[in-house]
A and B are shown apart, each in its own frame.
Chain A
């Protein structure tokens, strides 16, 4: 509501302003105004450049093998759904029997492993962040720093020790193992992110809730948590994207039954007739859908989440 009013005021003003002011780049007395057509077109071009690879992948997913390889690249062609069908079942050699590729399982694995590990990281991270924010330890910052250091190493540095640990403990190839790993992987980010959200909340509000007869648990769930929904959404989306696309750990630590889509995709690259770009693009297109859905669903919260603290105060 407020935004709309502000926009209306902003757009009404330049019309009444003297000509010199109107010619300046969309500035208005209130600081709110339209960017103007020039800037909008500029932004559109930059966005298109960014979006082009994704657009190209989606386009390729609907091409035949020949169209996908055509030089010069084809923008107009007869679309086919063949690639999408072949994601789930196809013949591995020319004229061979059509078999199930297992991608139904891999998609389930990706969803299940990412979903559970992000939810776990969110639950643990939010509680930890609340603790760090509201009941600081002696040397609080040191602990927070230590948590972050685990993310300062490139994954490849720790992959061998982790691989050995997983082998010894029997976690390799299990859901438990990969979910636990991804949870730990997401935790530092979740803790830091959520702590900054909790830090922004007014302590008075919690004091008021305590005086109104709330235990610490009730204060957390009834008062604090509803105020950081935007933060939860932002953390969830970032964590999800990170986990969803993770390849290295998944490659080495998942088994046949727990294989995720990125790993399975890499194993699809080979074949008797060379790389089947159309097929890969179809997998990739399907793979994009869940992330896009989640991001869209959380869009409003997400925008508030990433701008939190920069706009307020």
Chain B
């Protein structure tokens, strides 16, 4: 079975700990994205799986076999590098064929395999060129072709799309996803682009400072972030995070003071177990409803800057005490800079984080 299991994997570089006690299980056919800002340890984690770095502690199990002490060439994995790492002295065809030597295929089977992936990734016209003489998008596809030509234990992708332009990135995202679907292997993709993670992954592991903060489906990490960091990292525009004083609950509503302004917000039932004190309220920009009614259930603000984004409009607003709010409304709702806003939210979209940054949720 093509699976990957990490248990308590830790990596020190001198005095610096790049990866702290990471545990992760990827089942056959599953695509897991390691997502996080640069320096969060995601690439190191990937290199540990590949065997390019040795874990300081913990176990790496691939296809049911403990691989801690095996060299990369003994692990039978395929990896796509951020800078493609094509073999400069070999033609595209030779590049794609290179990994096949380990399988000891006869020439015909090898050529057939190369032909198949070349067709799948539209590389036929450039098969006899050298990597320096093909476009960036083609290089990327060669890197993918070289990985999928084999039948490895698992696939690893290190920032596979980061060097492509926006348009190409969209196409390749779909292409990689469809290629991976046909292979049913455990796959780990490292990326710092949340859109890439949200669109390609079955599950996303969000990392910060060497720790996995949350691992869940794309829907789950967006809808139910477990930590303040995940909440702020996922979603564009970024979630509004308001420092607030929690004053207790009233039925399904929590009472808070934001910028000295008392408000009632529909919240998760678990909030009633929370002690009074300082909390952070997270509200997605699209969760605001500017209904103009005002009152205790709404946050008051003033529109400062309007950014039309096509189908929607992004409003930068400010509360009376100066906290910034990002509000996204459908383009039908006309708001001018300087307008007073009164913003309502609904329970599903209001996240409360306690003093330690953990989501308070049932």
The residues of A with any CB-CB pair to B shorter than 8 Å are: 1, 202, 204-205, 207-215, 222-223, 226-227, 229
A223–B88 alpha-carbon span in the complex (Å): 8
Contact among A208, A213, A223, A226 for B101, CB-based, below 8 A = A213
On chain A, the residues within 8 Å of B150 by CB distance are 212
Question: Does B87 make an interface contact (CB < 8 A)?
Answer: yes
Q: How many B residues have CB within 8 A of the partner chain? A: 27
Judging by beta carbons under 8 Å apart, are A209 and B83 in contact?
Answer: no
A127–B3 alpha-carbon span in the complex (Å): 38
Judging by beta carbons under 8 Å apart, are A207 and B99 in contact?
Answer: no
Question: Whole-angstrom distance from the CB of B117 to the nearest CB of chain A?
Answer: 14
On chain B, the residues within 8 Å of A205 by CB distance are 85-88
Judging by beta carbons under 8 Å apart, are B77 and A209 in contact?
Answer: no
Judging by beta carbons under 8 Å apart, are B52 and A210 in contact?
Answer: yes
On chain A, the residues within 8 Å of B71 by CB distance are 210
A222–B90 alpha-carbon span in the complex (Å): 9
Question: Does B124 make an interface contact (CB < 8 A)?
Answer: no
Q: What mask results when residues 81 to 101 of chain B are scored 1 for a CB within 8 Å of chain A, else 0? A: 111011111100000001101
Question: Does B76 make an interface contact (CB < 8 A)?
Answer: yes
On chain A, the residues within 8 Å of B98 by CB distance are 209, 212, 222
Q: List 6 contacting pairs A-B, 8 Å CB cutoff, sorted by A.
A: A208-B85, A209-B98, A211-B51, A211-B52, A213-B76, A227-B88
On chain B, the residues within 8 Å of A222 by CB distance are 87, 98
Question: Does B72 make an interface contact (CB < 8 A)?
Answer: yes
**Interface residues of chain B: helix, strand, loop or mixed (majority):** loop
A229–B83 alpha-carbon span in the complex (Å): 23
Judging by beta carbons under 8 Å apart, are B89 and A208 in contact?
Answer: no
- Using known A-B contacts A202-B83, A207-B85, determine if residue A213 contacts B52 with beta carbons closer than 8 Å: no
Report which residue of A212, A215, A222, A227 has the largest number of chain B beta carbons within 10 angstroms of its beta carbon: A212
**Interface residues of chain A: helix, strand, loop or mixed (majority):** helix
Question: Whole-angstrom distance from the CB of A162 to the nearest CB of chain B?
Answer: 40
Contact among A1, A211, A229 for B72, CB-based, below 8 A = A211
Judging by beta carbons under 8 Å apart, are A208 and B88 in contact?
Answer: no
On chain B, the residues within 8 Å of A211 by CB distance are 50-52, 72-73, 75, 77-79
For window 116-149 of B, CB contacts with A under 8 Å fall at 133, 146
Excluding A207-B85, A211-B78, A212-B98, 20 further A-B contacts by CB distance (< 8 Å) are A1-B133, A204-B83, A205-B88, A207-B52, A207-B81, A208-B79, A208-B85, A208-B87, A211-B51, A211-B73, A211-B75, A212-B78, A212-B146, A213-B73, A213-B76, A214-B73, A222-B98, A223-B87, A227-B88, A229-B89
Closest to B88 in A: A227
Closest to B99 in A: A212
On chain A, the residues within 8 Å of B362 by CB distance are none
Question: Does B102 make an interface contact (CB < 8 A)?
Answer: yes
A214–B98 alpha-carbon span in the complex (Å): 9
A-B pairs, 9 with minimum CB distance:
A226-B89, A213-B102, A212-B99, A208-B85, A204-B85, A210-B72, A205-B85, A211-B72, A211-B79
Judging by beta carbons under 8 Å apart, are B81 and A204 in contact?
Answer: yes
A204–B72 alpha-carbon span in the complex (Å): 13
A202–B86 alpha-carbon span in the complex (Å): 10
Question: Whole-angstrom distance from the CB of B106 to the nearest CB of chain A?
Answer: 17
For window 11-63 of B, CB contacts with A under 8 Å fall at 50-52
Closest to A1 in B: B133
On chain B, the residues within 8 Å of A226 by CB distance are 88-90
Contact among A1, A209, A213, A215 for B87, CB-based, below 8 A = A209
A202–B146 alpha-carbon span in the complex (Å): 18
Closest to B146 in A: A212
A211–B157 alpha-carbon span in the complex (Å): 12
On chain A, the residues within 8 Å of B81 by CB distance are 204, 207-208
On chain A, the residues within 8 Å of B101 by CB distance are 213
Closest to B74 in A: A213
Question: Whole-angstrom distance from the CB of A138 to the nearest CB of chain B?
Answer: 15
A215–B71 alpha-carbon span in the complex (Å): 9
